[in-house]
Structure 1
C-alpha cells in the first residue's frame, strides 16, 4: 500500500462516469475518511450507516466525516470520526498517508487516509450513527475486477456509479470509487 501512495493521480469524482452531469458550483467542504486495514489479516474496516440518518442512511462507508473547526486537517478528522463511530483509538492506527481527494455529489472533497490497525480491535458502533461495523477481505478490496459499473435513475436522469458487492454488503458510490482508485494504484 505504501507503493500505491507514490502513484501520481489527480482527484476522483462522483462525476467520473457521468461527464455530462452538471458539477456543483458550490465550494466543496473538506472531509476525511479512514481506510484502515488490520495488520493480522488485511481486512478493511467499514461501517453500515444507521437507517435513521438524514444523509446516506443504510449505506456502506469508510469511517469518517467533515473536517470540524477543532481538526487540524482531513487526517485528524478521519481519525476523530473513526474513534467516535466505532471506538478505534487513533494510537492504534499506523498512518501510511493519504490519497487524492474524491469529490462527491453532496458537496464534499473527501480525503481517503490509509492506515494499518495494530493489535486487537473490536469495533463498538456508535448507536444512532452506525448500524454495524464489519470488515471485508483485502483480496476483494484490492482486485479491480471485483468492481463493476451500475446505474440507476437519479434526478430526472440516469446516473452511473461503481459497485463492488460482497455478500450482504452493497459497496457502491463514493466508497466504491475511492477503493477502486486504491486498487488501481496497487496494480500500477
Structure 2
C-alpha cells in the first residue's frame, strides 16, 4: 500500500460531519430544497512523480453550471445500485474511464448543494495509463491537478458573490487557469481537513 493510499483510507475513516454549500452561509437556510441523491468520483490518478486529481470543465453550452469545474458524476439513476455506482457510471460517460478501472477506497459524508443534491464523494485510485475522452455534450475539457495542491488547506480562499439576494460565501482553490470553487472546492476542502499529515 502506498503512502497516499494509506492517508486517503485514514481520511475516509476519520470522524466528521457532512459538508454543505451552507457551511459558510448559516444564516441563509431559506433557499434549501428537497435533495436528490448523487455520486461524484474523486479520481486520484497514480501517474508520474506525484498523484494527480482528475477534474472536468463543464461545457459552456450546458444549461446548468456551464463552464464550471466539477468532478465526474451526477444524480443516482433508477438503474444505479447506489451513489458509488452512479459516480462510476457517470465517470465512464463523461471522461471515458471504464467503470471497472477505479479502485474505490470508500466514500466521504454526503455534501448538500444549493441546487438540491446530496452528493456522495467516492474516493478512488486509478493505476496505470489512462487517456481521458471528454463527452462532447457535457465536458469541454478534462485536466489534472497535483493532489498535494488540493490537500493543502492553506491553498483555499473564501470568496463571495451576490446570489439570490445575498452575498454567498464559498471556498476556492485555484490552479493555473482553472477556478475551482463552490461545491467542488468545498468537498475537496472537507477531504483536506480529514487528511493526516
**TM-score category, normalised to shorter length:** over 0.9
Return structure 1 stretches of 4+ with deviation > 4 angstroms. Answer: none
1:16 aligns with 2:23: yes
Closer/same/farther in 2, CA of residues 162 and 25 from structure 1, 3 Å limit: closer
1:28 aligns with 2:22: no
User: Alignment partner for residue 184 of structure 2, among 144, 157, 175?
Assistant: 175
| Consecutive unaligned residues in structure 1, runs of 5 or more | none
Shift of 1:187: 3.6
1:43 match? 52
CA contact (8 A) 1:24 1:107 kept: no
Secondary structure of the 2:29 match is: coil
Give the distance between the partners of 2:36 and 2:97, measured in 1 at CA: 24
1:140 match? 149
2:14 match? 7
1:54 aligns with 2:54: no
Give the distance between the partners of 2:76 and 2:97, measured in 1 at CA: 18
RMSD, matched Cα:
1.1
CA contact (8 A) 1:163 1:171 kept: yes
Shift of 1:155: 1.1
Moved more, 150-159 or 68-77: 150-159
1:131 match? 140
Give the distance between the partners of 2:128 and 2:29, measured in 1 at CA: 45
TM-score by length of 2: 0.93
Closer/same/farther in 2, CA of residues 115 and 32 from structure 1, 3 Å limit: same
Shift of 1:138: 1.0
After superposition, the C-alpha distances for 1:96-123 in whole angstroms (9 at most, x for unaligned) are 0000000000000000000001221010
CA contact (8 A) 1:95 1:115 kept: yes
| Consecutive unaligned residues in structure 2, runs of 5 or more | 1-7
Secondary structure of the 2:100 match is: helix
Secondary structure of the 1:47 match is: strand
Shift of 1:47: 0.1
TM-score by length of 1: 0.97
Secondary structure of the 1:48 match is: strand
